[in-house]
Homo-oligomer: A and B are copies of this chain.
Amino acid sequence: MPLPDSGPAIILSHPQLGENIGAAARAMKNFGLTDLRLIAPKVEWPNDRAQVLASGAGDILEGAQLYSDAPAALADFQLVLATTARGRDVVREILTPAEAAARLREAAAKGIRTALLFGGERAGLENDEISLCDALITIPTAQMSSLNLGQAVLLLGYEWLKSADATPPTRLRPHLGVPAQRQELIDLFDHLEKELETGGFFFPPAKKGAMVRNIRAMILKSGLTDQQARTIRGMIVALVRNKYRGQM
């Protein structure tokens, strides 16, 4: 029985290169997929080149199941999406990888067994194979539309993981400090401005107000942590010390 959030099976139809089967297995491991199926591979199986490229994903290769044709490989799935680079003259929805991932995720949450079908390196999927699938997926590209088989599996796996990934778009390592509180920044401003005043930095004096505002803006823009504010104050102390040393 599939787990409620179990990912799609990856089904490679008539793959021609062991390298690509291995790369697909590795991409599956990268993104949390486990069920690999091969339809009539055109290379000997098991395959040495596949083993090399799979590196840490040897278990996925070993668990791969072989089928003679698409009807056999697809028999137990309830939602099947097929990847295709070329447009096909069939009335069929064409999904982006992200939309496909969203549908797979939604189906998986309902306990529906899903699969992604990929064609062989040279010819892609046959129309008969596509006729068994619910919808098509086309990966958007610029000039060259042909992606290698391993890369296509990688991108779909990536979108699958991403569709449930809670990583915020941007983050900081929390143990490395928190944004400085205003008082720490004000102390830094006071310290810096006092030493700059002593050093004769504010010239002509009439410009001092504008110069101070520019310096404060520059410091605020950098979004200092509490630790960084302390580091800068230490730097000021060291620079001032150098100055007196130079005079001695």
Q: Which of B31, B32, B93 contacts A171 (CB 8 A)?
A: B93
* A142 to B6 alpha-carbon distance, docked (Å): 13
- Minimal beta-carbon separation of A100 from chain B (angstroms): 9
Known A154-B155, A177-B91: A29·B144 in contact at CB below 8 Å? yes
Confirm or deny: A167 has a beta carbon within 8 angstroms of a beta carbon on chain B: yes
- Minimal beta-carbon separation of A206 from chain B (angstroms): 34
Of the stretches A61-69, A112-120, A158-166, the one at the interface is A158-166
Q: Is the Cβ of A161 less than 8 Å from the Cβ of B176?
A: no
Known A91-B225, A170-B93: A142·B161 in contact at CB below 8 Å? yes
Residue of B nearest to A32 (CB): B142
Confirm or deny: A232 has a beta carbon within 8 angstroms of a beta carbon on chain B: no
- Minimal beta-carbon separation of A76 from chain B (angstroms): 23
Confirm or deny: A198 has a beta carbon within 8 angstroms of a beta carbon on chain B: no
Q: How does the 8 Å CB contact mask read for A136-159 relative to B, with 1 for contact and 0 for none?
A: 000111111111100100110010
- Minimal beta-carbon separation of A56 from chain B (angstroms): 5
| CB neighbours of A169 from chain B (8 A) | 95-96, 98-99, 102
- Minimal beta-carbon separation of A101 from chain B (angstroms): 10
Q: Which of B57, B89, B102, B168 contacts A144 (CB 8 A)?
A: B57
User: 12 additional contacts, CB 8 Å, given A27-B151, A93-B172, A139-B158?
Assistant: A29-B143, A30-B145, A31-B141, A32-B143, A89-B173, A89-B176, A91-B173, A91-B176, A93-B170, A93-B171, A96-B167, A142-B161
